[in-house]
Amino acid sequence: MGYWSEAVLHVLLPRACAHCREDLRFRSEEPLCAACAAALPSAPDPACARCGGALGVRRGFCAACSGRLFACRLIRAAVSYRGPAASLVRAFKFRGLPCAARAAGRVMVADFARRAELAGFDALVPVPLHPRRERERGYNQALLLARELGAATGLPVKELLERRRAAAPSWRLGRAARRAELSGAFAPRAGAGAQGLGLLLVDDVCASATTLEECALALRRAGARDVAGYAFARAGRFI
19 lies in the site for Zn ion, by CB under 5 A:
yes
Q: Which of 24, 31, 33, 123 binds Zn ion (CB under 5 A)?
A: 33
**Bridge partners (DSSP) listed for residue 35:** none
51 lies in the site for Zn ion, by CB under 5 A:
yes
Give the residue with the Cβ less far from Zn ion, 60 or 131. 60
48 lies in the site for Zn ion, by CB under 5 A:
yes
17 lies in the site for Zn ion, by CB under 5 A:
yes
Q: How far apart are CA 217 and CA 215, in angstroms?
A: 5
Three-state SS at 62:
coil
76 lies in the site for Zn ion, by CB under 5 A:
no
Helices (H) and strands (E) in the chain, counts: 8, 6
Give the residue with the Cβ less far from Zn ion, 36 or 146. 36
DSSP secondary structure, 189-217, as one string: PTT---TT-EEEEEEEEESSSHHHHHHHH
Q: Are 69 and 51 in contact (CB under 8 A)?
A: no
Q: Which of 36, 72, 201, 218 binds Zn ion (CB under 5 A)?
A: 36
47 lies in the site for Zn ion, by CB under 5 A:
no
Give the residue with the Cβ less far from Zn ion, 42 or 113. 42
Least distance CB 200 / Zn ion (angstroms): 18
20 lies in the site for Zn ion, by CB under 5 A:
yes
DSSP state of 65: T
Least distance CB 65 / Zn ion (angstroms): 3
Q: Are 41 and 87 in contact (CB under 8 A)?
A: no
234 lies in the site for Zn ion, by CB under 5 A:
no
Q: Are 204 and 142 in contact (CB under 8 A)?
A: yes
Least distance CB 52 / Zn ion (angstroms): 7
Q: Which residues, including other chains, have CB under 8 Å from residue 191's CB and lie 6 or more apart? A: none
**Applying CB under 5 A, which residues contact Zn ion?**
17, 19-20, 22, 33, 36, 48, 50-51, 53, 62, 65
